[in-house]
């Protein structure tokens, strides 16, 4: 709570200076993003939690459960696991966005910003850019931990780079889900609770185990929900193709599907968040 209060206080004190009268969309978005990023650095707990959660879960699954879960896979379990965990970092890190946005709304920061002659949509766009940067940081730290625990991607340099780009794109789009949660939740505690409703998407997915190992009634959802689709695309690029994975479609198919899911999430939740921010009282 102290972290979130500090974040909100910093944003509130910066609000009058953050935007010149009549500032354009890009200027407003970049200024808001810069102020939010500075608040992250003033409260290093945010950076720490944004990097440690995914790394801890990766370490646990690699050494506690990996021996049992990884049996029968066509590739080493660590090479199967790490791309999935890198992708689910999007969700674990994104939760802080919901709490931060809710805290700002609860303490009147958003009221102050809406009173300024600036584009309403640019405020949340700037917030999403800052939270997207935090997601990138979490992926970077988790990737380093992955290498330390034995991850050695077999894909080409271009394939590995493409996998990371897909994660960054999906990560930015998913931040809008958590921003929307923060705007509708009412306070930071409620935002944290509501964010937990998104976390099952990381477990009922292809992140940790093959979908085929799940109950038959669960498999259609697990195979086609957006987190699994992004994971399959990332994993296909980093492993070097789908032949070793048995995921039913080509690398190109999963890549296009991941981009379409990301675009749909961005459009739907971007509009919802912008509309909610504009109409809040």
pLDDT in tens, 199-238: 889 889 988 888 888 999 999 999 999 999 999 999 999 9
List the alpha helices (DSSP H) in the chain. 2-18, 25-42, 44-60, 66-69, 77-106, 109-114, 120-148, 157-185, 188-195, 200-203, 219-224, 226-239, 251-279
Mean pLDDT of 96-120: 85
Average confidence (pLDDT) over 190-203 = 89
The phi and psi torsions of 178 (rounded to 5 degrees) equal -75, -35
In the predicted model, what is the mean pLDDT of residues 1-17? 45
Global pTM reads: 0.85
User: Which of 65-69, 97-101, 170-174 shows the lowest mean pLDDT across its residues?
Assistant: 65-69
Angle between helices 226-239 and 251-279 (to 10 degrees): 140
């Amino acid at each position: 709570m102290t972290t979130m209060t500090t974040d909100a206080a910093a944003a509130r004190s910066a609000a009058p200076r953050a935007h010149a009268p009549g500032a354009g969309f890009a200027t407003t978005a970049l200024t808001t993003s810069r102020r939010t990023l500075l608040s992250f650095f003033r409260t290093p707990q945010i950076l720490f939690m944004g990097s440690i959660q995914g790394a801890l879960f990766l370490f646990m699954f690699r050494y506690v459960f990996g021996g049992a879960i990884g049996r029968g896979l066509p590739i080493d379990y660590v090479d199967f696991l790490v791309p999935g965990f890198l992708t689910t970092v999007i969700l674990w890190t994104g939760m802080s966005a919901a709490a931060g946005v809710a805290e700002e709304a609860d303490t009147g920061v958003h009221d102050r910003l809406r009173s300024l002659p600036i584009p309403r949509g640019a405020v949340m766009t700037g917030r999403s850019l800052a939270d997207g940067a935090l997601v990138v940081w979490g992926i970077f730290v988790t990737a380093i931990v992955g290498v330390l625990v034995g991850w050695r991607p077999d894909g080409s340099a271009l394939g590995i780079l493409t996998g990371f780009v897909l994660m960054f794109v999906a990560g930015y789009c998913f931040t809008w889900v958590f921003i929307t949660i923060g705007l509708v939740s009412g306070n930071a505690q409620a935002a944290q609770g509501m964010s937990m409703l998104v976390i099952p998407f990381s477990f009922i997915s292809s992140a940790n185990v093959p979908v085929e190992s799940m109950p038959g009634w669960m498999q259609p959802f697990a195979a086609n929900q957006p987190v699994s689709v992004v994971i399959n695309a990332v994993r296909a690029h980093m492993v070097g193709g789908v032949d070793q994975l048995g995921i039913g479609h080509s690398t190109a198919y999963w890549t296009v599907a991941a981009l379409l899911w990301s675009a749909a999430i961005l459009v739907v939740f971007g509009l919802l968040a912008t509309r909610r921010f504009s109409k809040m009282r």
